[in-house]
């Protein structure tokens, strides 16, 4: 009997010890990380899987979601790895962008947790007041093939989505944003980034940054409200898709996965994580980078009138564009497709003399930019860019990539680096969404990756509602070349998609407001000079609006419905307002301006804009700090004000 009691005591002690070890192990493999204000909280757990979950204001918005990386040689960055170290840091600074897309000073503050594992990788999480981000980093010094990255977003029940459906990976990434329950998205459907989800009343914007030598991330659903990341595959030498997503060195960092957090729609405009998480600028000198506006030919098909030459892709037409730009203080003109073949981008076609156009434009104080297809440019990039620089070209619009596979992402980086070498600015069209490149190479001023104005040439999908999805979703990823400025404007009952003589849905004032509300350091004027010259008040007003900004205030905001926003450049304020198909009125409280009086010049919907979308009104009045101003917008309408200290 005494021996039995001893054995039981020993068993009890062993069991207690084992329970203690399990408890300690469980504690050691669970980590919490909070934002500086304590309202955004991450919990990271390691058991069979590595998972994270996200809580905002004590509401669970993303349930435990697994993340991992799997290589073809069997190496895995996942929960089976051995945790060897954890480090916490905090950071607070102010970032000064070389090209100020939204603001000239960006506060950056976060708490960071880095977990290091065997075999040779680490996982870093950051918690900002505006959201969270994580990235893997490999420490193995070898080359490898990545079979898959496992990225999951297991949203809380009842989550709603604004989902950017795409047909396949080969696309110019120009989605509309479809409102629907997240559980309606299944594995047969594909979505690009950025994408917006509303969980427990909290806006969650998914995107990525520091995308280098790696394919872009896309989304699919499981039909239960959860989503997961997928990636385009590379092509092999035979032109066939591979099973793997990337061939890489394992000693590297991987893209940041971002979930931006906003408790209301206005706060979405405070999310600048894609920029902050990008690699800082590699340029030693950026003084040659000149943001501004640019007159564009392709949308309007060079439909000129009242001229004594045959309009088209020829020297006389682009000299006329230079005269127009000089007349209204527009910094640049663009020569779009048609000056060369797509295969040979160093030989001019008959009828157009680009160096002569450049010299003429320069004499007028106007610079010239050039369209090039990526395929022709990539064959002889250094030589072609050197030639363009000798011609006096200041920037390139590079087009038709229509992919973010690893190889195409690398083309973007090659192009940005080579363009910087030759002091050329870049505008990517036929492109994927911004993912940090414009910080690392600030000569990349803007890109498409947006369903913009040109779609009116063949579609009625560019509605005022769509136009009010863009600032809250697509624009959060970075600059977007929507190409505003349509002079032919119509409401739905009068709209027709006419390729050669396009019109926009919504009012003229709606188009003008885009120059304040849409962020693009290179901002197109899309319509024909003849149309602008017939109503010079429009180009005069638009030319007075900057394309880069010092500060901003969101005054009224609702996704897909309306946006009223003030932006500051120097001592002037610029206010833009847009509404969807619903007419609206707003009260502007001028509590954000400095003390004193301001001359406010405004362009508003005219009294008949609800019937005739081109009707607009110009007003001027003295205003002062604290004053309340009522503005009226027609359905599909807009309003723009420029406040200059008196």
User: What are the residue numbers of the active site?
Assistant: 399, 454
Burial degree of 457 (CB within 10 A; 0-12, 13-18, 19+): middle
Is the CB of residue 622 less than 8 Å from the CB of residue 582?
Answer: no
Residues forming beta bridges with residue 258, ordered by sequence position: 133, 207
What is the distance between the alpha carbons of residues 401 and 408, in angstroms, rounded to a whole number? 7
The DSSP H or E segment spanning 585 is: strand 584-589
What would you report as the CA-atom Rg of the chain, rounded to the nearest whole angstrom? 27
Residues forming beta bridges with residue 419, ordered by sequence position: none
List the structure tokens of 515. Answer: 């120059």
Is the CB of residue 483 less than 8 Å from the CB of residue 280?
Answer: no
Closest CA to 477 of 245, 256, 289: 256
The DSSP H or E segment spanning 35 is: none
**Distances in Å between the alpha carbon of 417 and those of 423, 438, 440?**
10, 11, 10
List the structure tokens of 183. Answer: 């559980």
What is the distance between the alpha carbons of residues 422 and 604, in angstroms, rounded to a whole number? 42
One DSSP character per residue, 424-437 reads -EEEE-S-PPP-SH
Burial degree of 347 (CB within 10 A; 0-12, 13-18, 19+): exposed
Secondary structure of residue 233 in the 3-state scheme: coil
**Distances in Å between the alpha carbon of 543 and those of 188, 292, 293, 505, 532?**
46, 9, 8, 22, 12
**What torsion do the CA atoms of 347, 351, 352, 357 make, to the nearest 10 degrees?**
150
């Amino acid at each position: 009997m005494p021996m039995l009691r001893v054995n039981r005591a020993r068993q009890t002690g062993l069991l207690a010890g084992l329970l203690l070890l399990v408890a300690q192990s469980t504690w050691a493999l669970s980590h919490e990380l909070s934002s500086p204000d304590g309202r955004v909280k991450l919990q990271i757990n390691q058991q069979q899987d590595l998972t994270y979950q996200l809580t905002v204001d004590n509401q669970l918005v993303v349930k435990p979601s697994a993340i991992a990386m799997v290589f073809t040689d069997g190496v895995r960055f996942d929960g089976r790895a051995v945790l060897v170290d954890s480090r916490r840091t905090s950071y607070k600074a102010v970032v000064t962008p070389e090209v100020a897309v939204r603001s000239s000073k960006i506060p950056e503050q976060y708490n960071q947790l880095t977990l290091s594992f065997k075999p040779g990788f680490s996982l870093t999480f950051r918690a900002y007041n505006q959201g969270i981000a994580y990235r893997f980093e490999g420490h193995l010094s070898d080359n490898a093939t990545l079979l898959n990255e496992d990225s999951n977003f297991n949203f809380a029940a009842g989550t709603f989505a604004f989902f950017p459906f795409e047909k396949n990976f080969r696309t110019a990434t120009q989605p509309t944003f479809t409102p629907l329950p997240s559980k309606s998205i299944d594995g047969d459907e594909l979505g690009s980034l950025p994408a917006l989800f509303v969980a427990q009343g909290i806006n969650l914007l998914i995107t990525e940054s520091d995308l280098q030598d790696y394919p872009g991330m896309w989304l699919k659903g499981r039909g239960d409200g959860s989503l997961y990341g997928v990636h385009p595959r590379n092509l092999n030498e035979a032109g066939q898709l591979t099973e793997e997503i990337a061939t890489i060195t394992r000693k590297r960092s991987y893209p940041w996965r971002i979930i931006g957090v906003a408790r209301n729609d206005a706060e979405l405009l405070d999310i600048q994580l894609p920029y902050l998480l990008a690699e800082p600028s590699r340029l030693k000198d950026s003084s040659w980078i000149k943001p501004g506006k640019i007159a564009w030919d392709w949308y309007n098909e060079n439909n000129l009138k009242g001229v004594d030459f045959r309009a088209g892709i020829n020297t006389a037409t682009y000299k006329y564009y230079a005269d127009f730009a000089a007349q209204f203080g527009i910094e640049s003109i663009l020569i779009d497709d048609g000056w060369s073949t797509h295969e040979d981008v160093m030989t001019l076609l008959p009828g157009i003399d680009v160096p002569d156009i450049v010299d003429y434009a320069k004499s007028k104080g106007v610079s010239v930019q050039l369209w090039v297809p990526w395929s022709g440019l990539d064959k002889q990039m250094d030589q072609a860019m050197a030639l363009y620089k000798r011609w006096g070209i200041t920037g390139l619009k590079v087009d038709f990539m229509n992919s973010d596979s690893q190889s195409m992402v690398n083309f973007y980086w090659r192009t940005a680096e080579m363009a910087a070498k030759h002091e050329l600015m870049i505008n990517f069209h036929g492109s994927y969404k911004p993912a940090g490149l414009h910080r690392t190479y600030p000569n990349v001023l803007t890109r498409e990756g947006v369903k913009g104005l040109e779609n009116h040439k063949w579609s009625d999908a560019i509605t005022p509602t769509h136009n009010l999805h863009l600032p809250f979703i697509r624009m959060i990823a970075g600059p977007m070349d929507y190409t505003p400025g349509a002079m032919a404007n119509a409401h739905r009952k009068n709209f027709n998609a006419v390729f050669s003589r396009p019109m926009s849905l919504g009012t003229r004032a709606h188009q003008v407001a885009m120059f304040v509300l849409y962020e693009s350091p290179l901002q197109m004027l899309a319509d024909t000079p003849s149309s602008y010259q017939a109503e010079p008040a429009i180009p005069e007003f638009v030319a007075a609006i900057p394309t880069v900004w010092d500060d901003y205030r969101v005054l009224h905001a609702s996704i897909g419905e309306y946006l009223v926003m003030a932006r500051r450049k120097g001592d002037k304020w610029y206010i833009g307002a847009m509404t969807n198909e619903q007419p609206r009125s707003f009260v502007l409280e001028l509590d954000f301006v400095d003390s004193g009086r301001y001359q406010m010049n405004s362009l508003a919907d005219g009294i008949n804009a609800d019937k005739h979308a081109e009707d607009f009104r110009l007003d001027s009045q003295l205003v002062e700090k604290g004053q309340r101003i009522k503005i009226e917008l027609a359905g599909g309408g807009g309003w723009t004000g420029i406040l200059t200290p008196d």
